[in-house]
Structure 1
Amino acid sequence: MLVWSTPLHQAAIIEKEPITDNRGYFARSFCTKTLAAHGLPFHMVQTNIAFNHHARTLRGMHFQLPPYCEEKIVTCTQGTLFDVIIDLNRESPTFGKWYGLTLSAENGLSLYVPKGFAHGYVTLTENTSIHYMVSEYYTPSHESGVRWNDPAFGIEWPLTEQLIISAKDEQWKDFNLNVDGMVLSEGVVHG
């Protein structure tokens, strides 16, 4: 298993190193020891799956507020999607910046999402599934988000027309980078 840095502080790409033979392949998709060696002490408490019937389905940009901030490792297990994260840690050197990459069943990449980051994606193919490993239990009372097309972030989505988006994801308010304080990785809200 290989761990690659991204342009955003503490976020990482995880790549499998398959061992192949005539039967197929074997590869580690998660290893606490390897992640810790890269400064990512991830402790999984829950896994989730989201299945999307249609291409152009957009989910995001989600995160949980303290004390239930969560890290995630996300993997596309079927189909293809464009995965996006935003660093909302006010004291981070990459605060307010976004990063996106294509995750697919074919490329087998995973994205490590640190605490204090918003996460979302848009499906590029029909019948797309995404698997989440998370470090905190889902806590609806502490669920929050930022709007997928908020001009404060300027995310360059590969698809922007005829999207399928939930009413909840459409209603997130605009974010003010100069005023709004968000979740820090230590679980403190600054505002």
Structure 2
Amino acid sequence: MPITSVETFSISGPALLSLKRAGDERGWFCETWNARDWKEAGLPQENWVQDNYAFSAEIGTTRGLHFQAPPHAQAKLIQVVRGRIFDAIVDIRTGSPTYGQSVCLVLNSDQPQVFYIPAGFAHGYQTLDPDTLVYYKVTDHYAPETEGGLLWNGERSAIDWPIREHVTLSKRDHDWPDLGALKSPFTQAD
């Protein structure tokens, strides 16, 4: 997946990777994962064990903010196959100098990019186009007994979601606690 650039943030850990597309009159080709290129870029070595698709029909579908607690914590590698999303993460590693801070960005299928999210972050996204398809890799299998989350629009997280009213949201995502009430299972050393 020839990585053309790696963007890091003021919060240590997450990274936005831009990928190379090769195209001709037939269309284009793009590697989305290559262990050798990942290692050469100096990114943490992860053991990806599961791939997922998530389809959202409506603009404003909001998923998250989710995490899985240790011992089933998940790092994620997110990309958009069709459409656009506003993607948001919140640092929930207690002891981290950036605890409670967020990184937000727009991912879309027109740009070959993947967003790396290490364990220790709550993750969510909101669709900006209809019929959006998101593909992501994770480093541990789904373990519902370890699920946790943050309220998507909680005051303490201070995420500036592009759509704040008339969102499509699961009941579970509506009921997560705000950051101030979260008992985080992560520490900076995790």
Give the TM-score normalised by the residue count of structure 2: 0.91
Query: What are the ranges of 5 or more consecutive residues in structure 1 without an aligned counterpart?
Result: none
Shift of 1:183: 1.4
The amino acid of 1:23's aligned partner reads: R
Secondary structure at the aligned position of 1:176 is classed as helix
Query: What are the ranges of 5 or more consecutive residues in structure 2 without an aligned counterpart?
Result: none
Q: Partner residue of 2:36?
A: 33
* Distance of 2:49 and 2:8 partners within structure 1: 24
The correspondence of residues 58-73 of structure 1 with structure 2, limited to 5 A, is 58-73=62-77
Indicate which of 6, 11, 14 corresponds to 1:8: 11
Indicate which of 121, 131, 137 corresponds to 1:127: 131
Indicate which of 16, 21, 25 corresponds to 1:18: 21
Q: Deviations over 1:111-158 (max 9, x none)?
A: 101001110000011100100100100000001101011111100111
Shift of 1:186: 5.1
Q: Partner residue of 2:48?
A: 44
* Distance of 2:188 and 2:24 partners within structure 1: 42
* Distance of 1:4 and 1:32 partners within structure 2: 18
Shift of 1:8: 2.0
Secondary structure at the aligned position of 1:34 is classed as helix
When residues 36 and 185 of structure 1 are mapped into structure 2, their CA distance, relative to the original with a 3 A threshold, is: farther
Indicate which of 74, 96, 110 corresponds to 2:100: 96
Q: Is the aligned partner of 1:156 residue 2:154?
A: no
Percent identity of equivalent pairs: 31
* Distance of 1:172 and 1:182 partners within structure 2: 15
* Distance of 1:94 and 1:185 partners within structure 2: 10
C-alpha RMSD over aligned residues: 1.7
* Distance of 2:10 and 2:123 partners within structure 1: 15
Secondary structure at the aligned position of 1:122 is classed as strand
Q: Partner residue of 1:113?
A: 117
Give the TM-score normalised by the residue count of structure 1: 0.91
* Distance of 2:11 and 2:49 partners within structure 1: 24
